[in-house]
């Protein structure tokens, strides 16, 4: 007998969180619900769901930062963002943070269920679960910080998004255009030396906390976290 798909929920509105949990459980899913971004990163990193329903407007963190942190920690489950923000720049930011779908509040539960089923069908039969990850770094979306077991360093929102984009693809070269799209708002004019300056700051912070990973330059192409 096939086991029920595991659905994670991160929603800080208690009433909506309970409603979602009941509706998904009634639909036959194995549901776990969290109320905040930090709790979601801890719980869903330790035991990844098959799909995550993630609110963007959390009380302790931006849901897009939560998604980036989970991707950096090796969690590759599909993510459906829930949000009251419907403008194109907001939707683009959600997809660039690693989201797979976007549902604007208020929404019909029937539509959410259809979207969940569609994403699960497109997932690998064995589940998205966990891919290879960097072993030493942890991103905290609530504190906007990067940490090793020994130390941590605060990050600006732009630094967080840059490091998240690199850590989500460990060892791979991420193109400069992709990093700019991930870290700055749609339409922002970002000079080449601005990106390089932020990378320099991240390099110093990784050294500061004793991280084993380093940001390497692929000249004329981009950067890689290895």
Scan for tokens 């320099």, then name that residue. 200
Could you say which of 3.30.565.10, 2.40.440.10, 1.10.10.10, 3.40.50.300 is the CATH number of the domain covering 138-225?
Answer: 1.10.10.10
The domain 6-122 having CATH identifier 3.30.160.20: the answer here is: no
In contact, 145 and 154? CB cutoff 8 Å: yes
**Which residue did the predictor score with more confidence, 169 or 130?**
169
Kindly report the pTM of this predicted structure: 0.86
Tell me what the pLDDT averaged over the chain comes to: 91
Asked if residue 53 has pLDDT above 90, the reply is yes
Q: How confident is the model at residue 124 (pLDDT cuts 50, 70, 90)?
A: low
Q: Residue 81: what are its φ and ψ, rounded to 5°?
A: -85, 140
- Stated as kind and residue range, the H or E segment containing 34 is strand 30-34
- Stated as kind and residue range, the H or E segment containing 183 is helix 176-183
In contact, 82 and 101? CB cutoff 8 Å: no
Ranges of each domain in the chain: 6-122, 138-225
Asked if residue 129 has pLDDT above 80, the reply is no
Handedness of CA 142, 100, 7, 53 (dihedral sign): positive
Asked if residue 33 has pLDDT above 90, the reply is yes
d(CA 221, CA 47): 35
Rg, C-alpha atoms of the chain: 17
**Which residue did the predictor score with more confidence, 90 or 17?**
17
Sheet with 152-154, edge to edge strand ranges? 138-140, 145-147, 152-154
**Which residue did the predictor score with more confidence, 88 or 4?**
4
């Amino acid at each position: 007998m096939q086991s029920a798909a595991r659905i994670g929920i991160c929603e800080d509105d208690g009433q909506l969180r309970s409603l979602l949990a009941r509706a998904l459980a009634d639909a036959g899913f194995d549901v776990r619900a969290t109320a905040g971004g930090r709790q979601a990163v801890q719980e869903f990193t330790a035991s990844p769901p098959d799909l995550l329903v993630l609110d963007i407007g959390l009380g302790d963190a931006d849901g897009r930062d939560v998604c980036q942190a989970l991707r950096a920690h090796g969690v590759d489950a599909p993510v459906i963002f829930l949000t009251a923000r419907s403008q194109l720049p907001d939707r683009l930011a959600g997809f660039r943070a690693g989201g797979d779908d976007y549902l604007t509040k208020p929404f019909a539960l029937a539509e959410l269920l259809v979207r969940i089923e569609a994403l699960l069908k497109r997932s690998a039969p064995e589940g998205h679960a966990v891919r290879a990850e960097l072993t030493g770094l942890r991103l905290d979306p609530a504190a906007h910080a990067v940490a090793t077991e020994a130390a941590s360093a605060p990050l600006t929102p732009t630094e967080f998004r840059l490091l998240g984009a690199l850590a989500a693809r460990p060892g791979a070269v991420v193109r400069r255009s992709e990093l700019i799209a991930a870290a700055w708002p749609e339409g922002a004019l970002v000079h080449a030396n601005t990106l390089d300056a932020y990378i320099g700051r991240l390099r110093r912070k990784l050294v500061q906390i004793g991280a084993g990973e380093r940001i390497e330059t692929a000249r004329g192409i981009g950067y890689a976290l290895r």
